[in-house]
Amino acid sequence: MARTSLPSIWHLSSLVSAMTNKHSESRQLRHAEDGLSARSAAGASLAPTWEETSYFKIAARQIARGFGVAPVHPGEKRGILWNQFSHPATTISEVIQHAKDFPDYNVCVSSHRGIGRLFFLDIDAEGAIEQIERETGCQMPETFTVQSRPETAPYKRHYYFRSTPYSFETFGGRNSKEVNRRDLKLDSTRYDLKGIGRGGYVVAEGSIHPNGEMYTIMTDGPVIDVPNWLVDWLTADIHTFRSERAKLAAQRKTEISQLSLDEKKILQEAGVDSAYEISEAGTYGFVRSRTGSFLSLGCTREEALTLVISQVKRFCANGSEYVKKHRDTIRKEAFDKAYKIGNAAAFKYARPKPEPGNIIIKPSPLQMRRSLVEKAMRGLPSKIAATKAYDRLESALKAQGLTLDRTKNADLRLVGRARKTVGYRVENVGGVQTWIKGTAKTAKTERSVP
């Protein structure tokens, strides 16, 4: 399929104006066009303004297509905004602000799970598309598609799809997750499913790949609903991959458990991969997992870095070599702000283990309040105005250091349940809400007795 050339900023302006139908944004685009013309005529050599930045030109094209965008580090594929999945930029006004803050950054197209939303099939392995077409008997559908390395690896593609009710439920509904489908033999990624979970993105066309190539449109057309046959194939293939991965992990664990410490040490010194708990292929996943664990426990980032490096050397095949080659990667994980540093909250309710026979069960605050309300209510007279009843209940709880607020629905429900338990009903007596103990039938019988 022939590649289409990137549209000019002037042509883009008319597209965005027509799609947004917002006078303010149209005015901003016209201003950008006038500014470019004036600067071109004057031969200005000043620093580029926001309308001249690469970020604005790339991002505005994506907005015109109806995509949400966010900035990505130049020369990398790493996003920088914490809310890039939940709140990507969808208007020209937001793009202008990004262009001012990140003028030379790449652009990503972002999405997350939901019917009608975008998701991306990111092909990374040669032959993956041919496998899909061979095993399904169907050709890949015509949808908006971008090549990430059109010159050196044309098989690397981003297929854009829209989620359907069928795909949403089949991928897991509200519990669906992003998928990295790896080749277990070659230790490489075959494809990723991005945007079917909590959030994923692909780098937008016009951005520059770390190797210097430009992300280029392969198929310029509308984004289509993902066909059911492709959903079925992906689901089956991912299930097979996860099953095989689990079997290999179990097999590895069994083999290691059968080795003595001396045998394990000898094999590790000989560089035998299977003598380690973590294979070389699983080292990066181990780094990410342990980094998150250490930081969540309250370690500083420097402490987490030191601990992860130590454990990679101890538990991972060729761990020392991995640390030498990828120390910067480990450090980048440790200092990634996506990982939040925890505190001692996990130990807040820690208690010494009680001795047998001395176990004390402490009621929760809610149970204490409920018990005190019922106890105080049992001391009320059989007939009492509701306001006076609440006064006495509030006083009883206040004496125990607790509160009762008759204006809050939660406390009203608490009193209502206690009233039902104790046996009170509510009646309007002479225009006053009154609590009367006993059922209406019992009260009627009592009134009929002379």
Rounded Cα distance between 89 and 108, Å, is 10
In which band, very low, low, confident or very high, does the pLDDT at 85 lie, cut at 50, 70 and 90? confident
Q: Is residue 215 over pLDDT 50? A: yes
Of 137-151, 327-341, 375-389, the one with minimum mean pLDDT is 327-341
Of 50-59, 74-83, 439-448, the one with minimum mean pLDDT is 439-448
**Mean local confidence (pLDDT), 377-394:** 91
- pLDDT at 338 (0 to 100): 74
Nearest in space to 89 (alpha carbons), one of 101, 77, 75: 101
Rounded Cα distance between 56 and 63, Å, is 10
Rounded Cα distance between 192 and 238, Å, is 10
Rounded Cα distance between 63 and 92, Å, is 7
Q: Which two tokens stand for residue 278?
A: 């973590």
CA 417 → CA 217, 223, 420, 424, distances in Å?
65, 55, 5, 10
Rounded Cα distance between 318 and 306, Å, is 18
Work out the burial of residue 55: count CB atoms within 10 Å of its CB; fewer than 13 is exposed, 13-18 middle, 19 or more buried. buried
- pLDDT at 254 (0 to 100): 80
Q: Is residue 17 over pLDDT 70? A: no
pLDDT per residue as tens digits for the range 351-370: 566 666 666 666 777 788 88
Of 156-170, 214-228, 258-272, 386-400, the one with minimum mean pLDDT is 258-272
DSSP state at residue 26: H
C-alpha dihedral over 391, 393, 397, 398, to 10 degrees?
10
Q: Is residue 44 over pLDDT 50? A: no
pLDDT per residue as tens digits for the range 295-317: 988 899 999 999 999 999 888 88
Rounded Cα distance between 229 and 215, Å, is 28
Nearest in space to 161 (alpha carbons), one of 132, 140, 135, 175: 140
Percent of the chain with pLDDT over 90: 41
Rounded Cα distance between 139 and 133, Å, is 5
Domains of the chain: 9-238 (no CATH), 263-344 (no CATH), 365-448 (1.10.10)
Percent of the chain with pLDDT over 70: 80
For every residue of 207-275, DSSP letters joined together read -B-TTSPBPEEEE-SPPEEPPHHHHHHHHHHHHHHHHHHHHHHHHHHHHHHTS-HHHHHHHHHTT-GGG
- If phi > 0 it is left, if psi is from -120 to 50 it is alpha, else beta; for residue 446 that is alpha
Of 19-28, 56-65, 339-348, 435-444, the one with minimum mean pLDDT is 19-28
pLDDT per residue as tens digits for the range 86-134: 789 999 999 999 999 998 899 999 999 999 999 999 999 999 999 999 9
